[in-house]
Amino acid sequence: MRKHIFNAGPCKLPDATLENTSKACLEFGASGQSIMEISHRSADFLSVYEQAIALFKEVLSVPSGYSVLFLGGGASMQFCMVPYNFLNKKAGYVNSGTWATTAIKEAKLWGEVVIVASSEADGFTYYPEFTVPQDVDYIHITSNNTIRGTELLKDIDSPVPLIADMSSDICSRPVDVSKYALIYAGCQKNLGPAGVTVVIIRDEFLKNVVTTRPIPTMLKYQTHVDKESMHNTPPCVNIFAVKETLQWIKSVGGVKEMERRAIERAKAIYDYLEDSNLFRAVVKAGSRSRMNIPFLLKEGREDLEKEFIDFTKTKNIVGIKGHRSVGGFRASTYNACTMDDVNVLLESMREFEKKYV
Which residues are identified as catalytic? 99, 165, 189
Largest Cα–Cα separation, the chain: 65
In 3D, which of 320, 321, 356, 324 has the Cα closest to residue 4? 320
DSSP-assigned states of every residue in 199-247: EEEEGGGGGG---SS---GGG-HHHHHHTTT-SS---HHHHHHHHHHHH
Phi-psi region of 49 (alpha: psi -120 to 50; beta: other; left: phi over 0): alpha
Cβ atoms of residues 234 and 242 within 8 Å: no
Cβ atoms of residues 290 and 151 within 8 Å: yes
Residues, the chain: 357
Distance, in Å, from the CA atom of 243 to the CA atom of 255, rounded to the nearest integer, reads 15
3-class DSSP state for residue 345? helix
End-to-end C-alpha distance for the chain, whole angstroms: 31
3-class DSSP state for residue 117? strand
CB atoms within 10 A of CB 52: 27
